[in-house]
Amino acid sequence: MVAWFKTYSKSRLTSLAVVFAAGLSTASAAPQGRNEEPLLDSSLIQALIDIAQPGQVITPPPGRYKSHLVVSKPVIFDGKNQVTLDGEGTGSVLWIKTSGATVRNFHITNSGPSHAQQDAGIQVRGDDNVVEDIRMDNVLFGFSLEQSQRNTVRNNKVQGKKISLGRRGDGIKLWYSHHNLVENNEFTSGRDIVFWYSNHNRYVGNRQSGGRYGLHLMQAQYNIAESNYFFDNSTGISMMYDTGDELRNNVIAKAVGAQGVCVSLKESSDVVIENNDILYCSQGISIDVAPYEPDTRNHIRGNRIAYNDIGVAFLNDWKDNELTGNLFTGNITEVAVYGGGSAKRNLWDGNRWEDYQGFDRDGNGVGDKPHRLYTYAGRVWMDVPNTRFFKGTPLLEVLDFLDRLAPFSEPVMMLEDKHPLVASDAKVRAGSTLDATEDLGRNADRPKPAGETPVAHEKGSGPGGAASGRRGSLEPQRGPIGSKNDE
């Protein structure tokens, strides 16, 4: 019998398929719950995979199968959207232990609950595979790729187990896996999206919500995240100990909780954060000892940083970040530096500041004088973290007003932008066409095309040292910085 299974002739494969089809008609199965199909035995599917020739298409008959299947050959395994693979609450539902396979059009459900074993909907241990058009639900991890290169994971929907956040698994996890493409997927009810020790990967056009980290890049180099939506997470995107990562054209919004952060940079260097919408978070961008490597810079440009408690928060007096062409509007505090010091050792140039107090007499869209941001009594909650409880209270606001009116201490200049954009026709690249009052979960139907560069126009207002904190809508416009019309 073993020798028979190892014979790869076309006639014997056809014979096995006939036996397989006949077996399905008499397979014993017990109902797994009300209105569910009976579970069919998948052993004959595994046999078909094991004897298949490379490139052969394997399409199981419609049904719901008990599954811990292993795709061990470079075949095309296609469920035609008529097959459910059910892990029955144990282990991983499907393994890909080959290179060059395609798995598509399946419903995958009921993985095991083990974090130690990383029970997943699909485990990948190979290169150059394609996994597409999969629907997953009630899985601990969605996809787990370990030491796997050049795989494509696209057009999938993954819903995790409905358990507490800390007990969930990751929507997708890359571990020592490089040059992979994760594209146009939707992840809900998971914990994190994780790229650890994984380089040169692309994460494009995905939607992720309701987790802890929307995307967690750690010890990961030269990865690209582009045209994604991240919302309702504890942290939108976190980069830790990275080099050369790029974040472009993403919408990162509604990072929840007192410490919610849209984008977190920790000891990361040569990072590009460009043309993103960074909205509705406790902290828009958090910078902690970044850049870390000597003679490197981080580039933060063309972003819309709006309606956050703090627009950009430095956890210490650090240097060598370049913030250019960004729009700061509607933030309660534009820039904060904790523990003393300022943000002057970074480059600030050509940003649009809602609270700029100046004119543009020559009409070139650039302010006639630099924008200087000072802190007064607000320095208290930056230097003494426990006093943040009183931030925004009438007492602290009165102290701040009196300090501006008749300073009883020297105000601290936090930053200077020598070329602030001020005129009504000044254009600032911003990441999306979303109105600021939209529900991002329902109305942001798809990531914007990378070529869209909408901009927002507001006239400066508010006191000299702090944004007004006003909430409202942003009118999406289009055009490059410095263009002269709104068309």
Q: Can you give the pLDDT at residue 209?
A: 96
Q: Is 478:455 a contact under the CB 8 Å cutoff? A: yes
Contacts for 252 with CB less than 8 Å, ≥ 6 apart:
214, 230, 231, 236, 237, 262, 263, 276, 277, 278, 279, 281
Angle of the 43-51 helix axis to the 10-26 helix axis, nearest 10: 170
Q: Where are the alpha helices (DSSP H) in 358-432?
A: 379-383, 394-405
Q: Can you give the pLDDT at residue 155?
A: 99
How many C-beta neighbours within 10 Å does residue 447 have?
21
Supply φ then ψ for residue 436, to 5 degrees. Answer: -65, -15
Q: Can you give the pLDDT at residue 453?
A: 38
Q: Can you give the pLDDT at residue 422?
A: 87
Contacts for 80 with CB less than 8 Å, ≥ 6 apart:
59, 62, 105
pLDDT digits (tens, 9 = 90+) for 267-281: 999 999 999 999 999
Q: Which amino acid is at 170?
A: D
Q: Is 272:249 a contact under the CB 8 Å cutoff? A: no
Q: Can you give the pLDDT at residue 378?
A: 56
- Cα angle for residues 289, 293, 298 (degrees, 5° grid): 70
Q: Can you give the pLDDT at residue 435?
A: 42
Q: Is 367:358 a contact under the CB 8 Å cutoff? A: yes
Strands 63-66 and 102-104: unpaired
In the chain, what are the domains? 54-397 (2.160.20.10)
Round to whole Å and give the CA distance between 123 and 171. Answer: 12
Q: Can you give the pLDDT at residue 210?
A: 94
Mean pLDDT (10-residue bins), the chain, 487 residues: 39 48 44 64 97 97 97 98 98 98 99 97 99 98 99 99 95 99 98 98 98 97 99 97 98 88 98 98 96 97 96 95 97 89 95 92 92 73 62 68 65 91 54 41 38 36 32 33 35
Q: Can you give the pLDDT at residue 402?
A: 65
Q: Can you give the pLDDT at residue 34?
A: 41
Round to whole Å and give the CA distance between 92 and 61. Answer: 22
Q: Is 328:461 a contact under the CB 8 Å cutoff? A: no
Which run of H or E residues covers position 240? strand 235-240
